[in-house]
Chains A and B, each alone.
Chain A
Amino acid sequence: SQTIHQWPATLVQPVGSPLSLECTVEGTSNPNLYWYRQAAGRGLQLLFYSVGIGQISSEVPQNLSASRPQDRQFILSSKKLLLSDSGFYLCAWSTGQGPSPLHFGNGTRLTVT
């Protein structure tokens, strides 16, 4: 069966510091991968998605970037965090063929101080 791992679970970082969140998927090949952000009391905003190694699409302009160095690894990064980057970050995967649901990791709670 497929599993998705996200880490760390929680992170407190000062403004201006770098960020690296990692997500890996097991049990499937060539998945679509996604980073969503959930602000307090709000829905999920799609930040990035990837349909293959090295292929990244950004949905909104922001202070963050994403990379996919391996088929089942997705990384969310920032060079300098802003206060507004605080939130709950969720990684997800779906199959690469046709419409299918997203399967989410447990999320990372990021607090920028």
Chain B
Amino acid sequence: GEDVEQSLFLSVREGDSSVINCTYTDSSSTYLYWYKQEPGAGLQLLTYIFSNMDMKQDQRLTVLLNKKDKHLSLRIADTQTGDSAIYFCAESGSGGYNKLIFGAGTRLAVHP
């Protein structure tokens, strides 16, 4: 079946790079997504990558996709305290209708 897995917690020092990893199971997923959730809020779309791409860069964010291993990562350069949040990976799956399948989320803690 479809499943998305992420590590649950990551702690980094302010100014360092953060790398959040994700594995997914459905090789037919057309798009893969990264969302950010701040405390008590909904999910904010950060970026997404088409499945035939290897990399996408958007300012401080870099997404890497290894389709062979079904591995997705999000790198945040120069991590700031405002980046502290839960980050969700999601795949588009094979069910259509944009029914995204989400991981459990990685809590990123940024400390001085």
Contact = CB atoms under 8 A, between A and B. Distances in A.
B31 A104 contact: no
A106 interface: yes
Residue among B41, B100, B104 having the largest count of chain A Cβ atoms under 10 Å: B100
Chain B interface size, as a band, is 20 to 34
Nearest to A41: B104
Contacts of B33: 101
Contact of A49 (B48, B99, B102): B99
Interface in B85-112: 88, 92, 97-105
A86 B44 CA distance: 22
B76 interface: no
A44 B41 contact: no
A59 to B, nearest CB: 8
A104 B45 CA distance: 8
Contacts, number: 56
What does DSSP make chain A's interface, helix, strand, loop or mixed?
A: strand
A21 interface: no
Residue among B43, B103, B105 having the largest count of chain A Cβ atoms under 10 Å: B43
Nearest to A108: B42
A61 interface: no
A107 B41 contact: yes
A19 interface: no
A27 interface: no
Contact of A99 (B31, B40, B101): B31
Given A46-B99, A106-B41, A99 B104 contact: no
Contacts of A62: none
Interface in A67-107: 90, 92, 94, 99-107
Given A51-B97, A101-B33, A43 B102 contact: yes
B42 A104 contact: yes
B88 A43 contact: yes
Interface of B: 4, 30-31, 33, 35, 40-45, 48, 88, 92, 97-105
